[in-house]
Amino acid sequence: MRFLILRGRTIWLCLLLIIGLAGGYLVYQTAGKTVTTSNTSGAKKEFTIITTEYKSKTEDGKIIEVYRWDPGTIVVEKGDQVVLHFYGVQGLFHPFEIKGLNVKGEVKKGRVTTVSFTADREGMYEIICTAHMDMEHEGPMIGYLIVD
C-alpha cells in the first residue's frame, strides 16, 4: 500500500490550485451578466443600469463603436414593484423605452434617471435606446427585462 505525502511548498501549490479552480468556476457561472432576484413576488426590486460604450479600430483605421446597457438582462417576478435607476456613463444622452410596458425616459451623461412600474405581465421586454437602434447608429443598444 502506498501513501502520497505532501510537504511544504507542494501543499501550498495544491491549495492554490484548488482555490484557483473554485474561483474560476464561480466566475464562469456568473459571466452571463444576468441579475436575478429572489422568489418573493410583490416585493420592491431596485436595479441600477449603466450606459456602456465599446470602441475599436478596424484594420483600415475606421473607428467603430457600440453602446449597451449593463447589466443586459434583469429578471423579476410578476407583481413586483420595479425601480430602475439608469446612470449615464457613456454617450451624451440615451432616450429609451421598455417595449410593451409603456415605460419611457432619457438618460443623460453624469445623471441618474429613475423609472418605476409594476411588473404585472409575464414576458420578456426589450429595454431599447431609440437613438442606437441599429448598427448604423452604434447599436443596437438593447437590454432585457424578464418577468416570470
Exposure string of 119-136, with b = 16+ CB inside 10 Å and e = fewer, is beeeeebebbbebbeeee
pLDDT recorded at residue 24: 43
CA distance 105 to 109: 13
Residue 20 is predicted with a pLDDT of 44
Yes or no: is domain 34-147 CATH 2.60.40.420?
yes
**pLDDT score of 43:** 86
In contact, 85 and 48? CB cutoff 8 Å: yes
Nearest to 115 by CA among 81, 148, 146: 81
Residue 67 has a pLDDT of 87
pLDDT at res. 11: 54
The pLDDT, as a whole number, for residue 22 is 44
For the chain, give every domain's residue range.
34-147
Predicted local confidence at residue 103, as pLDDT? 95
Each residue's pLDDT tens digit in the chain (148 positions)? 565 565 555 555 444 445 444 444 443 444 444 444 455 567 899 999 998 888 888 999 998 888 899 999 999 999 999 999 999 888 888 999 999 999 999 999 999 999 999 999 999 999 999 988 777 877 788 999 999 9
